[in-house]
């Protein structure tokens, strides 16, 4: 008998197939097993209520990991020892997660944890995020974890309840797309710029219905933190999950982290992880090739992340009524130079760009410089680990000396539900992920960019890129060795 030929599979196929509890049928979705469930205070309370309603517990508490990030103040406790929650309701939401984690035996990284952080920063840092896993969270930026070759996507609160109760999800298999990025990113061009270029190419809905695998030389040469930035922004093109096949960069990043196996066992796990790649002839429903070498530092000008330009290019003309409305909201005219736009607020942080390499990049621009007088800048580390590391390196002093505010870890001004907001009509350059109308506060105007660009804008006081800086606002002439 001839040996049946195995069909070539994509990385996504492999991850999906390895987690099917019950296959999809014509009438019913697949039941997919979930290896890691990340939980935060905002999208979980009603999920825990399902457990109480059904009189059941969390099926696999050891596969569940919780943190406080969204509604938490970024300012320290006041003289009275109380944390400055924006409302009593926000405080109560945090207390509710604390009570739920205690009741159901879930590991919570509370205020006193040295690892507390934004859920998508903390998971990888602890090594809870591992290649080959399925990972979900009631948060659309769960796509971040795909950087490790995990199938990771955001879910709603009802589904949070399902996973708490059964460690499984009902899912129809999405389509597959591969984006090959050839060439290499030029100097000063970051993963954020790459992602904004990809989203502009696809449109903010071009990835809807797909899981995207990123491949090609430009992607391979990214470090893990940059890969997380890229996968994080996958949802901004409408795709729930982004994937990058694990390689030595992945293995090196995870080695020695708290939740990965150690020593010999790690070496064996790593060997398995390195097998996770799309087969040579794997089929994709859509395949796109882009060239990284022409990409430049990029910034958004509209109210969706697909509306972006290379810094230095004029604001493009609107191509439909919705874009027209976006330009009006943002106070831009077609043809106008982006550099004319005065910047009021700069935010460096979030699950997109709140990691140590992001803070180092912003600090390298600010070192020895001062913010323009009218600019307010917040720097919010993605986790307590990052905060400590930044303080060891003295980055917090670089920020403070430049005139920026150094805050406590959390989502902060990205989702602006903790009181850190951009006032109506003001322009913020933000390293976060969404420039939707009102995202950073009612009436706020958001320009998305990399940490380097954000820092350059803070110094110049208007839209700028690092190369524009010259000796602007340099306090002391740096000695060159």
Residues that bind other proteins (CB under 8 A): 21-22, 26-29, 31, 33, 42-43, 45-46, 49-50, 54, 70-71, 86-87, 89-90, 92-93, 96, 138-140, 154-159, 161-162, 165-168, 170, 172, 174, 204-205, 208-209, 235, 238-240, 304, 320-322, 325, 415-417, 424, 434, 436-439, 442-443
Closer of 161 and 382 to other proteins (Cβ): 161
Minimum CB separation of residue 371 from other proteins in Å reads: 26
Distance between CA atoms of residues 145 and 123, nearest Å:
8
Give dist(CA 453, CA 438) in Å, integer.
Answer: 22
Query: Minimum distance between the CB of residue 459 and other proteins, rounded to whole angstroms?
Result: 29
Nearer to other proteins, 258 or 442 (CB): 442
Report the nearest approach of other proteins to the CB of residue 28 (Å): 5
Whole-number minimum distance, CB 474 to other proteins, in Å? 38
Supply the DSSP symbol for 449.
Answer: -
- Cβ closest to other proteins, residue 26 vs residue 80: 26
Residue closer to other proteins (CB basis): 226 or 427: 427
Cα atoms in the Cβ-side hemisphere of radius 13 Å centred on 98: 13
Angle at 95 between CA 93 and CA 99, to 5 degrees: 115
- Shortest distance in whole angstroms from residue 67 CB to other proteins: 16
- Half-sphere exposure of residue 468, counting CA atoms within 13 Å on the CB side? 18
Token representation of residue 302: 């509209």
241-243 sheet: strands from edge to edge: 241-243, 210-215, 175-182, 286-291
Q: Measured from the CB of residue 184, what is the shortest distance to other proteins in angstroms?
A: 31
Q: Are 34 and 169 in contact (CB under 8 A)?
A: yes
Closer Cβ to other proteins, 70 or 341, answer by number: 70
Tally Cβ neighbours within 10 Å of residue 354. 31
Q: What is the nearest approach in angstroms of other proteins to the Cβ of residue 136? A: 10
Q: What is the rounded distance in angstroms from the CA atom of residue 137 to the CA atom of residue 133? A: 13
Rounded to whole angstroms, the Cα distance separating 110 from 118 reads 12
Instruction: Please count the residues of the chain.
Output: 481
Q: Which is nearer to other proteins, 87 or 293 (CB)?
A: 87
| Nearest approach, Cβ of residue 318 and other proteins (Å) | 12
Which of 103, 391 has the CB closer to other proteins? 103
Which CB sits closer to other proteins, 250 or 300?
300
The Cα-based distances of 54 to 31, 46, 163, 165, 170 in angstroms read 20, 13, 14, 9, 18
CB burial string 137-171: b at 16+ within 10 A, e below = bbbbbbbbbbbbbbbbbbbebebbbbbbbbbbbeb
Tokens encoding 422: 């951009």
Least distance in angstroms from the C-beta of 452 to other proteins: 26
Q: Establish how many alpha carbons lie within 13 A of residue 352's alpha carbon, considering only the half-sphere containing its beta carbon.
A: 30
Residue placing its CB nearer to other proteins in the complex, 150 or 398? 150
């Amino acid at each position: 008998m001839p040996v049946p030929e195995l069909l070539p599979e994509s990385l996504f196929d492999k991850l999906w197939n390895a987690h099917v509890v019950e296959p999809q049928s014509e009438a019913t979705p697949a039941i997919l097993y979930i290896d890691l469930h990340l939980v935060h205070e905002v999208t979980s309370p009603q999920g825990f209520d399902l457990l109480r309603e059904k009189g059941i517990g969390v099926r696999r508490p050891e596969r569940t990991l919780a943190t406080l990030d969204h509604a938490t103040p970024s300012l320290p406790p006041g003289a009275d020892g109380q944390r400055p929650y924006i409302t009593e309701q926000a405080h109560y939401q945090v207390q509710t997660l604390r009570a739920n984690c205690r009741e159901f035996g879930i590991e919570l990284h509370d205020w006193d944890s040295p690892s507390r952080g934004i859920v998508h920063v903390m998971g990888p840092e602890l090594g809870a995020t591992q290649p080959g896993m399925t990972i979900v969270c009631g948060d659309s930026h769960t796509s971040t974890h795909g950087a490790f070759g995990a199938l990771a996507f955001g879910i709603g609160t009802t589904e949070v309840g399902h996973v708490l109760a059964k460690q499984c999800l009902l899912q129809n298999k999405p389509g597959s797309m591969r984006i090959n990025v050839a060439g290499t990113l030029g100097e000063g061009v970051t993963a954020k710029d790459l992602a904004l270029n990809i989203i502009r190419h696809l449109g903010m809905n071009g990835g809807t219905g797909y899981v995207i695998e990123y491949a090609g030389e430009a992607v391979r040469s990214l470090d893990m933190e940059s890969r997380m930035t890229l996968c994080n922004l996958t949802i901004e093109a409408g795709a729930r999950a982004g994937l990058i096949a694990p390689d030595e960069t992945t293995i090196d990043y995870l080695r020695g982290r708290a939740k990965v196996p150690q020593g010999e066992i790690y070496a064996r796990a790593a060997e398995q992880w390195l097998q996770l790649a799309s087969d040579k002839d794997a089929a994709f429903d859509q395949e796109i090739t882009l060239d990284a070498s022409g990409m430049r530092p990029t910034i958004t000008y509209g109210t969706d992340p697909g509306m972006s330009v290379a810094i230095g290019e004029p604001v493009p003309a609107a191509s439909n009524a919705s874009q027209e409305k976006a330009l009006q909201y943002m106070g831009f005219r077609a043809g106008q130079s982006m550099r004319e736009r005065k910047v009021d607020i700069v935010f460096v942080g979030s699950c997109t760009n709140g990691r140590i390499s992001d803070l180092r990049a912003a600090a390298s621009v600010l070192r020895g410089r001062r913010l323009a007088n009218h600019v307010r800048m917040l720097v919010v580390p993605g986790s307590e680990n990052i905060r400590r590391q930044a303080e060891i390196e003295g980055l917090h002093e670089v920020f403070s000396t430049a005139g920026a505010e150094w805050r406590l870890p959390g989502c902060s001004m990205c989702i602006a539900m903790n009181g850190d907001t951009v006032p109506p009509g003001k322009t913020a350059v933000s390293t976060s992920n969404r420039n939707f109308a009102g995202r950073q506060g009612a009436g706020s105007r958001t320009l998305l960019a990399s940490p380097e660009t954000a820092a350059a804008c803070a110094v110049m006081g208007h839209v700028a890129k690092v190369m524009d800086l010259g000796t602007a606002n340099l306090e002391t002439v740096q000695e060159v060795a």
